[in-house]
Amino acid sequence: MSQATLQEPKTAQTVELHRPAKAIKLPEAATWPLEDVMALYELPFNDLMFRAQETHRAYWPEGDVELATLLSIKTGGCEEDCGYCPQAARYDTGVEAKKILDIDTVLDAARQAKDNGATRFCMGAAWRSPKERDMDKVENMVREVKAMGLETCATLGMLEAEQAERLKAAGLDYYNHNLDTAPEFYNNVISTREYQDRLDTLGHVRNAGLKVCCGGIVGMGETRAQRAGLIAQLANLNPYPESVPVNHLVQVEGTPLHGLDPLDPLEFVRTIAVARITMPKARVRLSAGRRELGEAVQAMCFMAGANSIFYGDKLLTTDNPEANDDRALLAKLGLKTRANTLESVQKERCGC
């Protein structure tokens, strides 16, 4: 495939993509046919990185990195069977099921996150979907965190339309609901919900006027073609997600995916680069598994176009590089944070 073809993706649909819910419509002709996404993956590494850097600089001239903090507001005891997840009740992983956190604990965590430089605060719960008794509590958390001046995000499982509208009314900015992997690999990982269930939730989220945070996990035993299938699904959502978290599988003993051969780190970097090229306006987030990647691979991911990280000591139940380590790495790389950029803009506006 020629360079010109890659720069201007084909308009003829060459693959039947999994059909989403009403509000998340694929165009009649896919913007990124699967074969074009595969062609990006198969570029020589330096050429792919160059393409990703060109795209990143064109769409993100400030080059800042968003710091987002994720708090588990309800841990463990989930009825789903996601093969990667230590919070599934059916797996013996040492994760204890707990009740939903009280509002003061959540607000203390949000204040600490803001003091450490985070600009977005995400609240996650290990549910298949929130029950009515949970909604009032979550809405109150959203309102109070929003009042601190933080962007708010929640990941609560599947949503009905009315639940998405209630979260929007409470002040929620983003809703996270990952596709996890390509449609053709999905049943190897999860059996308790369908791919269409995930797309339906995204449809309700879009209909409610919420921004979408949606990505997936790599290193679950999928092929490169299946990684390309995940990116094609995301890139052809109309519109594509505003935030795209890319997770590197954290293998937890007791889960079905424990013991897999680890993914080649350069393949993870390729996935970041392909996400950046195909979804140029999205925040591409380094999420779970950064600790295992190490500093050098994370640096390549930033070069490939990652401009958001989950920031703090824990990602739900798995370890994450500590905030001090993250700040030190960003300083070594000469990268600005979004908080720094916003502060500079505010100073310019007020003439400070």
Domain boundaries, the chain: 34-345
Q: What is the reported pLDDT for 77?
A: 75
Residue of 51, 285, 290, 338 with catalytic role:
285
> Which two structure tokens, joined as six digits, stand for 267?
């393949």
- List residues forming the annotated binding site for [2Fe-2S] cluster: 122, 153, 213, 285
Q: What is the reported pLDDT for 7?
A: 42
Residue of 122, 214, 227, 283 with catalytic role:
122
- Which residues, 6 or more positions from 323, have their beta carbon under 8 angstroms from its beta carbon? 116, 117, 311, 312, 313
- List residues forming the annotated binding site: 78, 82, 85, 122, 153, 213, 285
Listed range (87-91, 121-125, 317-321) with the worst mean pLDDT: 317-321
Q: How many CB atoms lie under 10 A from the CB of residue 149?
A: 8
Q: What percent of the chain stands above pLDDT 90?
A: 65
Confidence check: pLDDT of 182 > 70: yes
d(CA 300, CA 103): 38
350 is catalytic: no
User: 160: helix, coil or strand?
Assistant: coil
Backbone φ and ψ of 72, nearest 5°? -80, 110
Listed range (129-143, 260-274, 298-312, 318-332) with the worst mean pLDDT: 318-332
Alpha helix locations (H) across the chain?
Answer: 3-7, 34-41, 45-59, 103-115, 132-147, 161-170, 183-186, 195-207, 224-235, 265-278, 290-303, 323-333, 338-350
Q: What pLDDT digit, counting tens, does each position of 262-312 carry?
A: 999 999 999 999 999 999 999 999 998 888 899 999 999 999 999 999 886
Q: What is the CA radius of gyration of the chain?
A: 19
More confident residue, 7 or 329: 329
Q: What are the angstrom distances between the C-alpha of 302 and each of 4, 200, 295? A: 25, 32, 11
- pLDDT confidence tier of residue 67, bands split at 50, 70 and 90: very high
Q: How many CB atoms lie under 10 A from the CB of residue 24?
A: 23
pLDDT, averaged across the chain: 86
Fold of 34-345: TIM Barrel (3.20.20)
Q: What pLDDT digit, counting tens, does each position of 3-20 carry?
A: 334 444 433 333 344 444
301 is catalytic: no
d(CA 296, CA 147): 37
Residue of 120, 166, 198, 213 with catalytic role:
213
85 is catalytic: yes
> Using an 8 Å Cβ cutoff, are 275 and 284 in contact?
yes
291 is catalytic: no
* pTM of the model as a whole: 0.86
Instruction: Give me the mean pLDDT over the 71-97 stretch.
Output: 82
153 is catalytic: yes
